[in-house]
Structures are given as C-alpha cells and as structure tokens.
Amino acid sequence: MTSFTIQDVRKTFTNGEVEEQVLNGINLSQQQGEITALVGASGSGKSTLLTIAAGLQRASGGQIIFEGKNMTDMTQEEIRKIRASQFGFIFQSSHLVPFLTVEDQLMLMLNVSETKMSKRAQKEEVMKILKLVGMDHRKDAYPASLSGGEKQRVAIGRAIIHKPKMLFADEPTASLDSTRSKDVMTLIRKLTKELNITTLLVTHDEEMLSYADHVITMKDGLIIE
Amino acid sequence: MNMAWKEIKKSKAKFVILGSIIFLVSFLTFIISGLANGLSQDNAALIKNLPAGHFYMNEQANETYNMSKIDPSAQEKILQEHKDSAALSIQMGFVNDTEDKQHGVAFVTSTESPLFENVKPGEIVLDRSLEKDGIQVGDVLTNNQFSGEFKVIGFADQKKYSHSPVAFIHMDNYKEMYRVNTMQLLFIPGQDQPQTIDGLQSFSIKQFLNTIASYSAEQLSLNMIIWFLVAISGMLFAIFFYMMNVQKIGLYGILKAIGVKTSTLFRMMWAQMFFITAIALILSVALSQGFNTIAPEGMPFSLTMGTTLQLSILFVIIGFIGATLSGLQIRKVEPLQAIQQGDV
C-alpha cells in the first residue's frame, strides 16, 4: 500500500535577483515497511527533498500526499501535529536534549506526540524501546556521557517511541565509524520492518545502500535513476 | 514532563548566578525603599500621618509655608464652617533642657483640634524621640526667644518634621517667640476635592509634602535609585534569558522539528523565570524584613510588608516582561536551521 507520495515537487531559492532551482519536479512513491535511500552528490537536492517531505520547509510547487491528505495545503500547526505524532526524525548529529536523561528523551517524545498513556505505561514503553535499541542499561545517563553510537541509538529510540508512520533520517551514520554505522543501519532496517514504518533516508555512504529497499539517485534537482 | 525544572537541576550554576544577581538587586531595592520610607517618615511624619484632606496657604506665599500668613477673619470663617479643621504654624527652633543641653525641634502650634496635641500656655508635648534623649515628663525646658518656661506634659509618637522632633506649644507662646499674630496654614480634613477660598491656595497632603524642599529632593533621589534598580533587574532578566536562548537556538530548532509547540518553549522559559525570581525574592524579603527589626536605632528605616509585596510583584512583572522580550527569538527559530547546525 502506498503511504507517502511526492508529486512534481519543485523548490526554488531566491538570493537577491538570482533564482536557483534546487528541485525540478520530483515524483516519488513509498510503500509501508520499506526503506528508500536518496543518494547523490552535494547540492543534488536530496536533503532539501527530505526536509520538504518531512514538513520542515515548504515546496515552491507540487504536492506531498500523506495518508491521502495534501500536506502542501496544510497550515504550520497542522504540519506540526503530523510531525509530532506521525513522523520520526533521525538527524546527522543525534541532537539530544543535553539536560535530559536517556529515559527522559523518550518520555519527552511521548508527551510531544500526546500519546494517551498513563505515566506507568509510558515508562514501560520507554523501557521496551530502550531494550530494542540496546540502551536500557544507560537509561539514567545524560547525553554528555554517551558515545556517538550510543547517542544515535537513543535518537533512533526517540524517533520511533511514538510509533510514527514515517521515519526521516538525514545522514544518520555520518558521524559514526564503520562498525557503528552498520549497527545503526541494521537497527533502522529492523525497526522499519518490525514496526511497518515507511523510511526515507539520505546518505552518501554507499556501504549503507545495501540496507535500503530502493535507492534513488539525484542530480541537479532531478531523479536520474 | 517538567523540562524547565530538569534544566535547572542539570545546569545549577547558571541559574544560581542569575538567582544571586536578582537576589542582590531586589535586596538592595528593598533596603533603599526602607530607607526612603524611613527618611520620609523622619522628615514629615507630622504631615504624613494626618487624615486625607487639604492644606491652604496664602496665595502670595509662593508655595512656601513659612512665608504664608492666613488672614485672621478668613481663618475664623473657615474654622466656623468646618468644625474639624485647624489653623497651624510650624517653625524650626530649639529647646534647652535642665542641663542646658540644646535639642533641635520643630515648634508646632495649632488651634484646638484632635489632629494635633493641644496644650495650655507654658506646657509642651514632645515627639517620643526626645524621651530617648533623657527628657522626662515634668522637666522644664527653655528657649532664648521665650520669656517663660515650658513644662513637659507628655510625649507623642511619630511626630517628626524636617528630620526634627516636633514640639507642640500653645499659640500664645508661639506668637511671643516668633513675633507673629497670624497662622501660616489651614488644614481641612475629609475633603476629596479642595475648596476654593479667596486669597488662599490649596494643597493635597502629597502636594504639600512636595513644597518642603528637603522632602522632595530626598524622596526624588531615592525613588530614582529604586526605579533604576527595578529597571536594571528587568534588563538583567532580558539579557540573561537572551544569552541563554541564543545558546539554545539549536535545541529549540530540534524540539520544534520533532513537534514541540512554541508555546511550550515559552512556558518552559517563564517557569524558570518565576522559579528563580520566587527563590531570590523569598530570600531578599526575609533578609530585608530581618534588617527592619535589627536596623540601628538612629537609622531612619521603615519597610512595611505591603511595600515589600508591591515591589516583589513589580519584580515578577518586570522579570516576566524581560524574559518574554528576550524569548521572542524563540518564535523565529526555524527547525531546519538547527538541523543544519552541529550538535546542540
């Protein structure tokens, strides 16, 4: 079943009198439980496409259809609600909240997504996800005391704790060494399949492409294969 | 989940620094306010403690009470019309005690009125501060402008004028001492609006206090310091939260990206502001009230709980405005900008 569709998406940046066309009409469909990887050289538009798809910036034209609704027609508040409850984000740097423990990072996401759960049920859910990402033993640790790989595992936990339908990952392994990158990608693949999430990720690491179901190569704002 | 509290717990040092500054500024404001109020009492308790009403002085007196001369016929008419009104005169002077020690006083005389101490010729009632100087009921005091003697018949509380204790004497003695036949002022209590009286200018109590040169100069300077301190504390809040928000732009962007509402981020900042201000104010209120009780006897210091509460509320409002103004940048934060930055 198609759960996420990008139709003829265009993006133009204006710098003074100069207009730069970053995306030139992108079409893309994604199925539930599949990972689609966007690859391409710097400036090809892959990160711009990811952020537009994730509702973090507006497209200049085209449509983004999520669960039958056109996100480009939605208000900022409607998009925020979707980001909070239906989307999960993994960033290049883990971007954890420095003053929250590992457990609190995940609790925060449950609160943001307004999950209807008792406090006790929330804690149990957090522990379940921490076990899933292998971080339950560090639940009381602050981000400053975690390694890069551990931080990224917590970030993944935060991205999926509220059972999102879409997972957006922007270079999730860029700050990790080869072994940890493989661990993180294995984890993302496992969660995508187990939780039936639709994952769109940007990477420039060719080794990571083996974890994706589809690979889309971009160049000059267009999909070339 | 209370993110505001968790941040305070994790970053104790920076919040303790802000709290300490707010504590010091508010404590200093309370102390100066206590001094301003104390000096105000010391300068004009005689006038300040009167009930609401209006003073009248001669139009030609150029708003200077000791140049005023109330026409006796006008005075008689007003006193007849307003039974609770009084005519009074004030002059600075001194009395010599039994040991010939000189004490500076403000001589006050009035027509018969419950608003002022009424004495017979040759009698004197003094402000209680002179009792602490060793003068007792029954003592005989003298003045080189007065042919007779004054017998102390009692003491009155909180009767000060121009930083001097008031000495209530009879009109006949006053007229002899200062070679005058007229009174300087009329006071009519209970008037919301002043009455128009030919040849006389009216003053509310507040307006009359401002005609006392030392009073207005003193209070103006102290009040200016208080308002500066209040403004400084507002700026401190604004600057501190601005710097803290600048540091957290990346974090705010990420939180917005994952769906946190902007209003939640504002509430977090306000909660921190209220928490820090409350702790700082509780400490400074407690210390300033403590100081109120142990202030040296000669120090004119008076800090009421009402004044403290009013200033505390003002600090909270100023802190709220300062923090909110600095927090406006939170609204402008773009999630994308934060994602493109490094770690938060």
Percent of chain B surpassing pLDDT 90: 49
pTM, rounded to two decimals: 0.77
Token look-up 């004054």 returns B150
**pLDDT class for B338, splitting at 50, 70, 90?**
low
Structural tokens at position B182: 């007229």
d(CA A118, CA B161): 68
pLDDT, position B344? 45
Q: What order do you get walking across the sheet with A18-31 strand by strand? A: A18-31, A2-15, A61-66, A69-70
Q: Give residue B245's identity as a one-letter amino acid code.
A: N
Q: How far apart are CA B72 and CA B78, in angstroms?
A: 10
Mean pLDDT value across chain B? 89
Residues linked to residue A168 through DSSP beta bridges, in sequence order: A89, A200
Interstrand relation of B123-127 and B150-156 (parallel, antiparallel or unpaired) = parallel
Nearest CB neighbour to B6, from listed A57, A104, A112: A104
HSE (CB half, 13 Å, CA atoms) of A176? 26
Where is A200: in which H helix or E strand?
Answer: strand A198-202
B13–chain A Cβ distance below 8 A for any pair = no
Contacts with A69 (C-beta within 8 Å, 6 or more apart), sequence order? none
Token pair 């009013």 is found at B310
Token digits of residue B151: 């017998």
Please name which of A146, A142, A184 lies closest in space to residue A167, comparing C-alpha atoms.
A184
Residue A212 is predicted with a pLDDT of: 94
A192 contacts: CB under 8 Å, gap ≥ 6: A33, A34, A35, A167, A198, A199
3-state secondary structure of A165: coil
Decide: B263 and B66 in contact? Cβ < 8 Å: no
Reported ipTM: the value is 0.86
Given strand A222-223, what is the order of strands in its sheet? A87-90, A166-170, A198-202, A35-40, A214-219, A222-223
Amino acid at position B129, single letter? S
Distances (CA, A) of B222 to A48, A166, A225, B30, B37: 60, 63, 77, 12, 9
The verdict on a CB contact (< 8 Å) between B259 and A81 is: yes
The minimal CB distance from A57 to the residues B256, B258, B336 is found for: B336
* Residue B262 contacts residue B328 (beta carbons within 8 Å): no
| Chain A interface, best mutation among B1, B3, B258, B334, by max A CB count within 10 A | B258
pLDDT band at B243 (very low <50, low <70, confident <90, very high): confident
Across the interface, do B342 and A93 touch by the CB < 8 Å criterion?
yes
Greater model confidence, B77 or B344 = B77
For residue B62, what are the contacts with CB-CB under 8 A and spacing of at least 6?
Answer: none
pLDDT bracket for residue B343 (50, 70, 90) = very low
Cβ within 8 Å of A, B 238-267: 250-251, 254-261
Confirm if B167 and B116 have CB atoms less than 8 A apart: no
Q: Is A14 helix (H, G, I), strand (E, B) or coil?
A: strand
Per-residue pLDDT reduced to its tens digit, B143-180: 988 889 999 999 999 899 988 999 999 999 999 999 99
Rounded CA-CA distance B310/B327 in Å is 25
Q: Which residues does chain A have within 8 Å of residue B6's beta carbon, measured at their own beta carbons?
A: 99-100, 104
Residue-wise burial string across A156-177, b where 16 or more C-beta atoms lie within 10 A, e elsewhere: bbbbbbbebbbbbbbbbbebbe
- Nearest CA to A194 out of A112, A145, A131, A109 is that of A131
> Looking up tokens 């900008």, which residue turns up?
B337
Is the Cβ of A162 closer than 8 Å to some Cβ of chain B? no
| Residues of chain B positioned with their CB less than 8 A from the CB of A104 | 1, 6
High-pLDDT (> 70) share of chain B, %: 98
pLDDT band at B246 (very low <50, low <70, confident <90, very high): confident
User: Which residue of A104, A112, A170 is in closest CB contact with B258?
Assistant: A112
Say which of B1, B11, B342 has its CB closest to residue A108: B1
Provide the residue-wise pLDDT of chain A in tens; the chain has 225 residues: 557 899 999 999 888 888 888 999 999 999 899 999 999 988 889 989 999 999 999 999 999 999 889 999 999 999 999 999 999 999 888 889 999 999 999 999 999 998 888 999 999 999 999 998 889 999 999 999 999 889 999 999 999 999 899 999 988 888 778 888 888 889 889 989 988 999 999 988 888 899 999 999 999 888 887
**A46 with A202: CB under 8 angstroms?**
yes
User: For residues A122 and A116, what is the distance between their CA atoms, to the nearest angstrom?
Assistant: 9
